[in-house]
Structure 1
Amino acid sequence: MSATYLVLNEQGQETAVFAPGEAIVLRYEVRNDTDQEVYFNNPVFDYAHFMEVSRDDNGQLSLVGKPYTSMSLTYNMYVVVAAHSARSFTIPWVASSKYPNAYPFNSHALNAPLPVGRYHTSVQPRLTWHHGTEADVTVLSAAQDFVRTFEVR
């Protein structure tokens, strides 16, 4: 099992530098590298601060916002991920027809493109899962694995 958090350009390539007005896409992905279906405990991330973006002025972070206004809070106990597959949660900073709203995002924030500057974004994963009837397995990942910094310049 693994999880990644990425900052991507509109073509889906990971990058840390954007031109003013260029699309910024945030993606959190949970991957099942096993030979059997996996049931991740729901939610697989902290809804309260998921994909928040802050401006970084020499280490002083000030919250800019999120790319969505609301999320669907499902009451399903598990998020199912098939063997050798992944479950992605992807949303651009500014609404785009290339990335329409999809679960768990109900609506897109009316964000303007980010101005020139340095930015910080992070997610807090909750990676607990099981196969069938076996007991839950929890893996704690290093917090820095889910922090991304990027620039608009």
Structure 2
Amino acid sequence: PPFRYESVVAAYSLDASGGPPQVGGRLVLLSELGAWANWMTSYDIGFQATLGAAPQYVSEWAYRFHWRWAARFVVHAAPIVYGGLEDFDHGVEAFTGLAPSAGMTLLPEGWIKAPFQFDISWRMPLRLGDTVDGWFGDAVRVEAHWLELSLGLAFM
């Protein structure tokens, strides 16, 4: 059967190295990939803010691929493009990069009669450039390994 939905998601991300967490939100527009009901794609637009003494504000965009494993269980992966601002104490620094991401989504609407979406995913931001170190060279680094837990409203 056709399968598509839009969702608004609130996310909480934990840094694997013990750094401050991130909070944010995301809009997901998902639809079938061709005639296959078990393969889907989505456009994701999100905003994240790192909490703590050195805040970061990040905007991210993704074209995500989804595979519907069961009626209400989806596995997904995406390349994420992100950009943001940080280091507000010493002048604002802008940065950008790419982040591979993978995760799982549970859509329990048929079980609990509420349009919730539960998601757990991993992402690894790879900074490619910033206004201090320039593009590539010294700017290139893995920023963190994030484990993201999300709760959203999915409208089918």
Normalised to the residue count of structure 1, the TM-score between the two structures is 0.29
Q: Which has the higher contact order (CA 8 A, sep 6+)?
A: 1
Normalised to the residue count of structure 2, the TM-score between the two structures is 0.28
